[in-house]
């Protein structure tokens, strides 16, 4: 935990949502709310990170996450460098630490890291030069903190206070770094009830200890829920026959219009993407009036702007004034 925060309790890095104090989680969402007002204006840039350099260091393929991080940095007026790790010197034998030192020698200020190995972002944060910030954009099965924060931001924007809400997280929880980060963030923000719905083979051992109610029956788990978060079925991380087929998964755990009727009449539907239509979601639900999936993508830019501005020194205090000054 001390790796993430400085002596004053401000963000040095963002590696996980686990253990972040409620006041800090709320400050991130409030700062993102200030930035979200810029996104719809004709002048979308603010000068908070002018002269700073942010490097997107992605060891796993990603389109949506990397693009929103890049847009967020550009809208803060930072310089952005995208490293194609597949064709970098690491494929020729350069170690991760050698790569880190070479990039730091180029006077960068922050790394946004996505890696297949759990703990990779923390490893880089522990070895980064003083003053260089690290933001975890997803590491193995461990964490995806900005996705969890943008989900929490979307829920708060759509539903108001989190305390009265029942939130159901459905699907491949075993392999999902998003689910773990969501549970920690939502619990930290005081969400009323968090439910985890999954087949037995995709339930992590001991997940109830995180403060969630576990369901194997989808219909029972959805009853009266205010928010339904569907997760991607992550075939690439599965070993062995954890599921009979995608068709069988959809028949038992796919969100259809009929199943959605079990939720609260104003319930919203979310998905961190990319959506496997006909596997996790019926297309009519994914594109229906209760879906806020595209809003999640938009909100991701504001949340990532907030995080990057905070780890690089602006702890959410000056952001609103600067935004109003620039965007008018």
**HEC profile of 284-299:** HHHCCCCECHHHHHHH
232 is in an annotated binding site: yes
In a domain, 11, yes or no: no
Say how far apart CA 261 and CA 284 lie, in whole Å. Answer: 13
Q: Which domain holds residue 36?
A: 22-143+297-327
DSSP for 225-242, written as a single string: -SEEEE----GGG--S-S
Q: Known binder of ligand: residue 107?
A: no
Distance, CA of 326 to CA of 328 (rounded, Å):
6
Phi then psi for 114, rounded to 5 degrees?
Answer: -125, 130
- Are 262 and 156 part of one and the same domain? yes
175 and 303 co-located in one domain: no
Q: Dmax of the chain from CA atoms? A: 57
Report the percent of the chain where pLDDT is more than 70.
87
147 marked among binding-site residues? yes
Does residue 312 sit in the same domain as residue 248? no
Paired tokens of 117 = 């190995």
Element (H, E) at 252: helix 246-253
Whether residues 256 and 162 share a domain: the answer is yes
Same domain, 158 and 284: yes
Q: Is 177 labelled as part of a ligand binding site?
A: yes
Q: Is the CB of residue 9 less than 8 Å from the CB of residue 21?
A: yes
For residue 163, the domain's CATH number is 3.40.50.1370
Please give the tally of structural domains in the chain: 2
Cα separation, 149 vs 145, in Å, equals 6
Do the bridges between strand 110-115 and strand 53-58 make them parallel or antiparallel, or are there none, so unpaired? parallel
Average pLDDT over residues 267-284: 94
Pairing status of strand 213-215 against strand 227-230: unpaired
- Given this model, what pLDDT does residue 61 score? 81
pLDDT mean over 296-316: 90
pLDDT tens readout for residues 234-256 = 755 444 445 667 888 899 999 99
Gyration radius of the chain over CA positions = 20
Q: How far is CA 133 from CA 16, 39, 53, 92, 285, in A?
A: 14, 24, 11, 26, 39
Unique residue bearing structure tokens 């026959």: 241
Tell whether 284 and 157 lie within a shared domain.
yes
Least confident range from 48-62, 100-114, 142-156, 311-325: namely 311-325
Separation CA 263–CA 225 (nearest Å): 5
H helix or E strand, kind and range, residue 147: helix 145-159
Kindly state whether residues 157 and 134 are assigned to the same domain. Answer: no
Rounded to two decimals, the pTM is 0.91
102/121 Cα distance (integer angstroms): 17
Check the annotation: does 33 bind a ligand: no
Residue 269 host element (H or E): strand 268-270
Query: CA–CA separation, 73 vs 46, rounded Å?
Result: 10
Residue 92 labeled ligand binder = yes
Verify that 138 and 172 share a domain, yes or no.
no
**Any idea which of 63-67, 158-162, 265-269, 302-306 has the lowest mean pLDDT?**
63-67
Whether the predicted pLDDT of 33 surpasses 90: yes
pLDDT 10s digits, 155-207: 999 999 999 999 999 999 999 999 999 999 999 999 999 999 999 999 999 99
């Amino acid at each position: 935990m001390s790796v993430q925060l400085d002596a004053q309790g401000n963000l040095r890095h963002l590696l996980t949502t686990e253990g972040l104090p409620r006041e800090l989680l709320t400050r991130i969402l409030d700062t993102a709310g200030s930035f979200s007002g810029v996104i719809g204006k004709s002048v979308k840039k603010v000068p908070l990170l002018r002269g700073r350099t942010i490097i997107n260091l992605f060891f796993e393929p990603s389109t949506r996450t990397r693009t929103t991080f890049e847009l967020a940095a550009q809208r803060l007026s930072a310089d952005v460098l995208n490293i194609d790790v597949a064709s970098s010197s690491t494929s020729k034998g350069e170690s991760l630490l050698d790569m880190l030192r070479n990039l730091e020698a180029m006077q960068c200020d922050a790394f946004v890291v996505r890696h297949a190995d759990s703990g990779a972002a923390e490893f880089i944060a522990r070895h980064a030069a003083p003053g260089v910030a690290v933001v975890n954009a997803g590491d193995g099965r461990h964490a995806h903190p900005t996705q969890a924060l943008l989900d929490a931001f979307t829920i708060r924007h759509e539903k108001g206070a989190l305390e009265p809400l029942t939130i159901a997280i459905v699907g491949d929880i075993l392999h999902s770094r998003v689910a773990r980060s969501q549970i920690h963030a939502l619990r930290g923000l005081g969400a009323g009830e968090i439910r985890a719905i999954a087949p037995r083979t995709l339930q992590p051992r001991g997940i109830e200890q995180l403060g969630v109610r576990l369901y194997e029956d989808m219909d029972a788990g959805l009853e009266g829920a205010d928010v339904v978060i569907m997760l991607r079925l992550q075939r690439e991380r599965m070993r062995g026959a954890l599921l009979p087929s995608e068709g069988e998964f959809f028949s038992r755990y796919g969100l259809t219009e009929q199943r959605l009727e079990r939720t609260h009449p104003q319930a919203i539907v979310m998905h961190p993407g990319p959506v496997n239509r006909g596997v996790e979601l019926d297309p009519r639900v994914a594109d229906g009036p209760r879906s806020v999936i595209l809003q999640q993508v938009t909100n991701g830019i504001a949340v990532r702007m907030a995080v990057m501005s905070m780890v690089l020194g602006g702890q959410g205090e000056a952001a609103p004034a600067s935004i109003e000054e620039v965007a008018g």
